[in-house]
Amino acid sequence: MPDVDWEGLRAPRWSQRDRGPVAATFQPHPDDPALSLEGAAITKLGAGRGGEPIVCLALDPDRDTFTRGAIHGMPAGLEGIASTLTPRRLMVAVGADPAALSRCVDAVMECGGGIAFQQDGELRRLPLPVGGVITAAPFAEVVGFWDAAQALFEGLGHPYPDPLSTLLYIASDSLPGARFNASGLVDTKAKTLVAPARVVTWA
């Protein structure tokens, strides 16, 4: 495969910012709407089968907004993961540790887009500097990162395959169920806006 001169093509970064929002953005709140992961690509409103909810939020760099929810069905021991590999130019971030979640978001923004996760205090990231979806990393590095994310979720007892694709599906409003888009958290089946996006305060 030939090398591509992305800089020469003026390929856009996911965002021109190199820091994420202020710490309060990642703190759970009792009013956060509940959603439930019930399959690798299935999210519904409500607590579903229950379990410990963790923070799930979407950041929109074009509108300077965010939407936060409480997601059930993700591993309660997941410190944090963030990804711009979504179809709507949103960053989706999920985690039980607000500080780790903030660190993952900062790591992704610093490299202009990508995926980052933290567990046991160790941060790993895969830069996707071209629009937040394309990387210049060697194929073996990408596969290694993908496998490490899968192993992390499996080790935490997550029952569904390919968790990085699950983050993509959460922001895919062409699918039925509870999804994030530019408007906020929506129920695409009922065609209702559950929680509107709010203005984000950047750090």
pLDDT digits (tens, 9 = 90+) for 153-178: 999 999 999 999 999 999 999 999 99
To which H or E segment does residue 203 belong?
none
pLDDT digits (tens, 9 = 90+) for 74-115: 999 999 999 999 988 899 999 999 999 999 999 999 999 999
Q: Please, are residues 83 and 168 in contact by the beta-carbon 8 Å criterion?
A: yes
Look at residue 11 in the predicted model and tell me its pLDDT: 62
Q: Which residues pair with 71 in a beta bridge?
A: 35, 54
**pLDDT band at 4; cut points 50, 70, 90:** low
Look at residue 1 in the predicted model and tell me its pLDDT: 45
Is the whole model's pTM more than 0.75, yes or no? yes
**pLDDT band at 12; cut points 50, 70, 90:** confident
Does pLDDT of 193 surpass 90?
Answer: yes
